[in-house]
Structure 1
Amino acid sequence: MPGRLGHACDTATVAAPEHDRISLSVTAAARRARSRSIGPVQQRSRGPRRPGLSLGRVLGVPLRVDASMLLLTVVVTVLYAALARRQLDLGPLGGYLVGFGFVVSLLGSVLLHELGHALTARRYGIGVRGITLELLGGYTEMDRDAPTPRIELLISLAGPAVSAVLGAGAVAATLALPAGTLGHQLAFQLAVSNVVVAIFNSLPGLPLDGGRALRAAVWALTRDRHRGTEVAGWVGRAVALGTLALVVVLTMRRALAPLALPLLLLVALTLWRGAGQSIRLARIGRRLHLVDLARLARPLLPVPTGTPLAEAQRRRDEAATPHAALGVIDSAGRTVAVVDPARAAAVPPERRPWVAVDEVARDLSAVPALPVGADGERVLETVRTHPGAQYVVTAGEDVVGVLHIADLAQLLEPKRKTNT
């Protein structure tokens, strides 16, 4: 498994209720990153959701363990137990205990790798939301992206540097301990794991740490972060194909344990998907300047509370604004709710004269709001932290329109098919 820096694979899934599920990459676009690592160590930004079991804090950084770690624990314990029994002449129970001990040591290496990213980011004023250990290693979630290529480079290489130091220490311990002992075997395996992770994770392709370093270099040379992301993303796809080719060769030579094959295939798939998401991120980032809520938001057609849905839709059609959003207003003329298009469409046409707009509307307090002057980065950040199908656009205390997630997706990814 490789080590990756999480913000290299930054993505957010923007899901509209029951429709318009749209994936939007959010690294440079949304000012939040997440560092990820693949391998016995490795480095995705979603909303405020925090997956996994909380284990408290390490050096002030929240630590969580994803449920997928259970699978990794079982696989590595079983594989290493068989090796330990052969090398150390242990019984079944002893082999599994040694295997589990190796897993604990391995997770400690992953944690230190991620702390390298986290503490370096904090050193340069970038907040760290937490570290999560998962099936393919772990990731560090940060508040925002690095502001300069130099800081990006330092953060991305901090994790592999820690793994390299751990590997060197384990190599020294391996040479110092008597061969054939438990300590020698554990030190040897930790040396191999950390050295392999340091090398693999330094390969110059996103979403690996080395990919972030390549992005930083291209960014510095071209003054274009998006170009750096795209270049590193395409190189990342080449790394994924190379990993897949290696898996095929090792399988043909019967050099892979049966349990290791699906895990390595998952690594290759994760690299391919992460690289593709990075390429999309770059393309989205180049179009963020086009986000203008004054033009992008759909106009609001106000209808009094209690108005039948059929009547509200008739008024919209007569006003020649078929794409206008329906806003429910109270007796004082204040907008109090917005009709949910999905809920309205679910009402059979024959029932719409008897269903009030209030029954298919969402209270204004439950709909995320965006100021009409918000730029593209702020819009994406709101979409990422508050996934939904609609966002009210405001000017002061007034609602001036409604942003549909499908319209935003069409603007940022015009070649990508979405539901409207």
Structure 2
Amino acid sequence: MLGHVAGAPVVLAPSWLLAAVVLTLVFTPSVRTWTGAGGGVLPYVVALVFVVLLFASVLVHELAHGLVAKARGQQPREFVLTLWGGHTTFGGAAPSPGTSALVAVVGPVANLLLAGGFLLLADHVAPDGSVLQAMTWAGAVANGFVGLFNLVPGLPLDGGRILEAAVWAATGDRHRGSVVAGWTGRVVAVGVVLLVLVRPYVTGGTPDLGTVAWAALIGAFLWSGASGAVRAGRTGRVVDAMTIGTVGRPAVVVGVRSSLAQARTTAAAAHAAEVVVIAPDGRPAAYVDADAAARVPAELAGSTDVLAVATPLPAGTVVDGTLTGDALLEALSRASANGPVMAAVVDGRVVALVRTADVVAALRH
């Protein structure tokens, strides 16, 4: 960890070290070309310094996101530098399309400002033909590319966040924005690979294998992020519409001294799929296992205690049946840590059983 900014840790992921080594080796031949340096350690040192400056620019990009988000009431949780550059995580979603767009755009703007600063240094401060001039020119080009590329309107790029916010503002549906920007991101991912493959043939050349490999990696990264955004947008719609009625199974209650026959009669009368056994203190104590109950012949149901075919409900597996959306999903997530089946209660009365498998199926629908 490098420290804290805006109340959030700045983390250097182990994969960054791999990226630093690989990029240093990749840039060293270019450094020799720029500077005219031959062998020795100097080209490697210059290349490493450039890589460090490049990741410092990425950090400025991420810090810009976090600082503006915090100013707009959205708390950053973590700034991370990784193999692929960096990312910023937040404690919650942006409260409005305007905040989302503003937080997204400041990252690329920060890079473009850095590009301008490096360009001024290269033109007016660094001696002509010097190593310093070569590095500042490279810094200008790198930051300009990062800034402009991130403005391409497709998730997971910042431009995709801007597009997502625009669709959200126009339709009032955040999740539609995610789906639209995610599909656009998929187009961008394919476009990056096609550009590298097709452009050389148009200019009379052939694709460079190394460039194609890098493009494939970047395209795969973009496709993965875009696809995740599409899934998140669709899942978000499901979560917003989630109620106990959409994920639960209607239930009736019987006492601990009831027979299986009584439980069957009560469920049939209410057209309920589930039976919950209530303890003497009124707490949901167990639920009837449908498979176990089905194995009991009808002629023996009257003499079979309902608890003989019931599965206990552990403490902590009761949820508020009036909750909806994110609040309901969060409550179910907490309760499912205690057991895979939960009782939903409204005004002290059990109204449904919720199974973790049913919630997962609803989210994947």
TM-score (norm 2): 0.75
> Which protein shows a greater Rg?
2
Matches of 1:299 and 1:66, distance apart in 2: 48
Deviation at 1:90, TM superposition (A): 4.4
Please, which runs of 5 or more residues in structure 1 have no aligned partner? 1-53, 305-311, 345-356, 415-420
Residue 74 of structure 1 pairs with residue 21 of structure 2: yes
Q: Which residue of 1 aligns with 2:328?
A: 379
Residue 292 of structure 1 pairs with residue 243 of structure 2: yes
Q: Which residue of 1 aligns with 2:299?
A: none
Name the SS for the 2:153 alignment partner: coil
Name the SS for the 1:193 alignment partner: helix
Matches of 1:228 and 1:76, distance apart in 2: 35
Q: Which residue of 2 aligns with 1:236?
A: 185
Cα distance, 1:91–1:380 mapped onto 2, change above 3 Å: farther
Matches of 1:100 and 1:338, distance apart in 2: 64
Matches of 1:256 and 1:338, distance apart in 2: 64
* Contact 2:153–2:159 (8 Å) recurs in 1: yes
Q: Which residue of 1 aligns with 2:94?
A: 146
Deviations 1:56-115 (A, max 9, x none): 313432111223223311221111122223333143422222222222111111111011
Deviation at 1:405, TM superposition (A): 3.5
Identity among equivalent positions (%) equals: 34
Cα distance, 1:301–1:223 mapped onto 2, change above 3 Å: closer
Deviation at 1:125, TM superposition (A): 0.7
Q: Which residue of 2 aligns with 1:97?
A: 45
Q: Which residue among 112, 115, 118 is the counterpart of 1:170?
A: 118
TM-score (norm 1): 0.66
- Structure having the larger proportion of residues in helix: 2
Q: Which residue of 2 aligns with 1:121?
A: 69
Name the SS for the 2:73 alignment partner: coil
Q: Which amino acid aligns with 2:326?
A: E
Matches of 2:23 and 2:5, distance apart in 1: 24
Deviation at 1:256, TM superposition (A): 4.9
Superposition pairs of residues 52-91 of structure 1, within 5 angstroms:
54-88=1-35, 89-91=37-39
Q: Which amino acid aligns with 1:216?
A: A
Which segments of structure 1 move beyond 6 Å, counting only runs of 4 or more?
Answer: 299-304, 319-323, 329-333, 336-340, 383-389, 396-400
Deviation at 1:222, TM superposition (A): 2.5
Superposition pairs of residues 150-229 of structure 1, within 5 angstroms:
150-175=98-123, 176-229=125-178
Please, which runs of 5 or more residues in structure 2 have no aligned partner? 292-307
Name the SS for the 2:138 alignment partner: helix
Cα distance, 1:210–1:380 mapped onto 2, change above 3 Å: farther
* Contact 1:204–1:210 (8 Å) recurs in 2: yes
Deviation at 1:173, TM superposition (A): 1.5
Q: Which residue of 1 aligns with 2:300?
A: none
Deviations 1:298-319 (A, max 9, x none): 4689999xxxxxxx9xx99xx8
Cα distance, 1:211–1:339 mapped onto 2, change above 3 Å: farther
